Structure 1
Amino acid sequence: MIAQFQAILLAVCPALLIVAALKDVTTYTIPNWISLALIVAFFPTALALGLPMNTLGLHVALGVGALVAGMAMFALGWIGGGDAKVFAAAALWLGWPASAPFLLVTALAGGALAMTLLAMRSILLRRYVSAGPAWLSRLAEPGENVPYGLAICIGGLVAFPTSSLVLALSAAPL
């Protein structure tokens, strides 16, 4: 019963990352409540899984570091403010050593997303994409932003199984 409760708590992170990605792709915004919910849900999850205090501190440090990096990327105009916040909240959940695959996969997914959007925005494909839903047509508009929340979600979902939280659940006695 306890393991089921812990698993439910763990499911909050991937679920909210998916919601963030869907919101970003369809509206080019990631509501603040998603990042806030990720941050707030992390602490009871970490406590329920018995995360040691030094590991908890490392998670917090990585989250703060990711927030600083995200703010710098936002200041440079590379990502949006919602992307920076959800990036930091995901890093808080992932901790070490999952942050390395998170960064790598997020960067690769971001590059693939940018290339896909460039193709969609080409003269050859834009007319076909514009026949779809309004949010898809907007993605195909030349000069529009890149919904980087999708890349952050992919990176987070790929790295999540290697996070210390998931490893703590799998190490817990049944």
Structure 2
Amino acid sequence: MMDILFGYGLLLFAPLVFAYAASSDLFTMRISNRVALIFLIAFPLFAYGIGMSWMDALSHLGVGLITFIVVYLLWMFKCIGGGDAKFAAVAAIWLGPELTLWFFALSSIYGALMAIGFTVVRSGFLPGFLVKMEWALRLYTVKRIPYGLALGVAGLQIYAISDWMDAGVRMALS
């Protein structure tokens, strides 16, 4: 019974975190430190639960550390927001060395498409019904891009092909 519940946890936890981070950045233009912290704290629990070896866990943490250094530098030069940087580093820990480059490649593509889309939308007028929505007005007037949306969508897509998802399906069906 516990394996089945744990399997459902694997199937739901990370996707919900990715979706929450994406929607949070879209609607508020920030990703809370709590989201990254909860995601980080849950990693060793889930890694232990699937029987991840110490070497694999350390490689995941190593990728996260390298990612943190890179995104910290990007944050210092005001290329990305702090919430995006912290969330990207923790996402890299979860995705590990096999999937992190794919994650950032997809995030870059989605981020570029968003930047183009926001530039086009912001060059025109905001429709009247959207002016009344605080989050839509903020997206229109603030000259930043909520890249957490790109990170979240890419994370959902990459997590779906991860070992975590395979383990979750196996455990949930056992």
TM-score by length of 2: 0.89
Tell me, in whole angstroms, the C-alpha distance in 2 between the residues paired with 1:104 and 1:129: 35
Partners of 1:13 and 1:90 within 8 A in 2: no
Higher RCO (CA 8 Å, separation ≥ 6 residues): 2
Distance in structure 1 (CA, Å) of the matches to 2:70 and 2:81: 12
Taking every aligned residue pair, what percent have the same amino acid on both sides? 28
1:56-92 Cα shifts (integer Å, max 9, x gaps) = 1111111111111110111111110000000011111
Contact 1:62 1:95 in 2 (8 A): yes
Distance 1:167 1:68 in 2: 30
Contact 2:24 2:31 survives alignment (8 Å) = yes
Q: Which runs of 5+ in 1 are unaligned?
A: none
Distance in 2 of aligned mates of 1:40 and 1:129 = 41
Q: Residue 22 of structure 1 aligns to a residue in which SS? A: helix
Letter in 2 for 1:109: Y
Structure 1 Cα separation of the partners of residues 122 and 16 of structure 2? 30
Q: What are the equivalent positions in structure 2 for 1:21-170 lying under 5 Å apart?
A: 21-123=22-124, 125-127=125-127, 130-141=130-141, 144-169=143-168
Structure 2 unaligned spans of 5+:
none
- Cα deviation code 1:85-124 (max 9, x no counterpart): 000111111113111210111000100111111111012x
Q: 1:48 to 1:64 in 2, by over 3 A?
A: same
Measured against aligned partners, the alpha-carbon deviations of 1:32-70 in whole angstroms (never above 9, x if no partner) come to 100000000111001001111111111111111111111
Q: Which residue of 2 aligns with 1:4?
A: 5
Distance across 2 between alignment mates of 1:12 and 1:140: 31
CA drift of 1:170 comes to 5.0
In 2 relative to 1, CA 169–66 (structure 1 residues): closer, same or farther, beyond 3 Å?
A: same
Could you tell me whether the CA contact under 8 Å between 2:95 and 2:162 is conserved in 1? yes
TM-score by length of 1: 0.89
Report the count of equivalent residues.
172
Matched letter for residue 106 of structure 1:
S
